[in-house]
Structures are given as C-alpha cells and as structure tokens.
Amino acid sequence: MVFRFVDPDNFYFFLMDQAGGYRLLGKKAGGAFSALDTPTQDSSQGFVLGQSYDLRVTAAADRMQVYLDGRLALEGRDGTHARGRVGLMSRNDNRAYFHRLAVTEL
C-alpha cells in the first residue's frame, strides 16, 4: 500500500514480502527509498500465500500505524510527507488482488 502519495518520488509505503519474510513501513523522499524517522520493520514474518488479510493504515500528523487483522503490526513516526493520495501496489506477484478499499480522512 502507498499513502500520502505526492508523486512517484515522494510517498510512504507498507510492504509485506513473503520470500524475504518481512514487513516494512518506509518512505520514498526525493526519489530515494529510506526508513522513517523512527524506523519500523518486522523481520520475523512476511505473509502466508493464499491467506487474506484485513489491512488498516492510520496516519495522523507524524505518527503511522499498520494493523493486520485488527492487531497492531507496525508503527513509526516521520514528518516528511503531510498529505497525499492512497494507492495499492504489488511487487513480483502477478496473482495478488485487493478488494474493499475504504479511505477515511481523520
């Protein structure tokens, strides 16, 4: 998922990597990928193939939280991007699908 998407060189993202076994909340700023001001990565798990997940991302001021199936999975802080659009992405997975996207402004 991408959020606070300003342009292709400036946004935040949440990524789950099955092969690498990690989950990451990060940013792209000025064209360069990097960690948040408060880095956040879970290197103990990625995702299970064929399993559906309920994903919720909250971003209020500089605080970001990622919930998977109702449980806090990652949280961090960063003040680089204040506003922007929301989008979905998939990397090296032509069978991924997304449904029931809802965006709520706080």
Mind listing the pLDDT tens digit for each residue in 12-59?
999 998 888 899 999 999 999 999 998 788 888 888 888 888 889 999
- At 90 the pLDDT is 79
Report which of 71, 54, 53, 66 is spatially closest to residue 26, judged by C-alpha positions: 66
- Classified by CATH at the fold level, domain 2-87 comes out as Jelly Rolls (2.60.120)
Domain residues of the chain, as ranges? 2-87
Query: Torsion angle, CA of 14/23/36/74, rounded to 10 degrees?
Result: 90
With cut-offs at 50, 70 and 90, classify the pLDDT of residue 106. low
pLDDT digits (tens, 9 = 90+) for 56-103: 999 999 999 999 999 999 999 999 999 999 988 877 777 777 878 888
Q: Which residues pair with 17 in a beta bridge?
A: 22
Predicted TM-score (pTM) above 0.85 = yes
